[in-house]
Amino acid sequence: MIAYVTVGADDIARAKRFYSALLPALGYALEEGPEGLSYTLPAAPGASGPAPDFYVKPTFDGRPASAGNGTMVAFMVRSQKQVRDLHAAALIAGGSDEGQPGFRAAYGPHFYVAYLRDPQGNKIALFSSDPNEPGREG
């Protein structure tokens, strides 16, 4: 089980604006401290362990933060509408588009996804795969 994910950021205020446009809508609470931003989910009743946290921190070595080539963090959301809404909110909050909301031929017929870059360049996916929503044609 993944316990947490950390992404680096050189400008914590810009990162906070971006991630606060997304993560509270997914149930994450923000704790801000001298070490950066900690977005946490409440413990789920009956869960065997804690839900994964998401941290946005300055680098430990003091060098500029950089996005990993081939690295992406994906967040599952409730619906296709929420994918669209959060993608739009993230763009307004300083993110950049890496793939408009929609279906992708390479994935299952209900996998609806949008891709973004945060202000530091980290790649983020927002997806829904609810079989009760309309699926991709053919």
Q: Is 80 helix (H, G, I), strand (E, B) or coil?
A: helix
Cα angle: 98, vertex 91, 11; to 5 degrees: 95
Token pair 């400008």 in the structure block, residue: 11
* Calpha distance 87→106 (Å, rounded): 20
**Could you report the per-residue pLDDT of 50-86, keeping only the tens digit for each?**
789 999 999 999 999 999 889 999 999 999 999 999 9
* Calpha distance 135→138 (Å, rounded): 9
pLDDT band at 138 (very low <50, low <70, confident <90, very high): low
Q: Is the separation of the CB atoms in 3 and 51 below 8 Å?
A: no
**Could you report the per-residue pLDDT of 21-56, keeping only the tens digit for each?**
999 999 999 999 988 999 999 887 877 777 899 999
- Structural domains of the chain ordered from first start: 4-60+70-128 (3.10.180.10)
Q: Is the separation of the CB atoms in 38 and 31 below 8 Å?
A: yes
* Calpha distance 66→54 (Å, rounded): 17
| The pLDDT of residue 4 is above 70 | yes
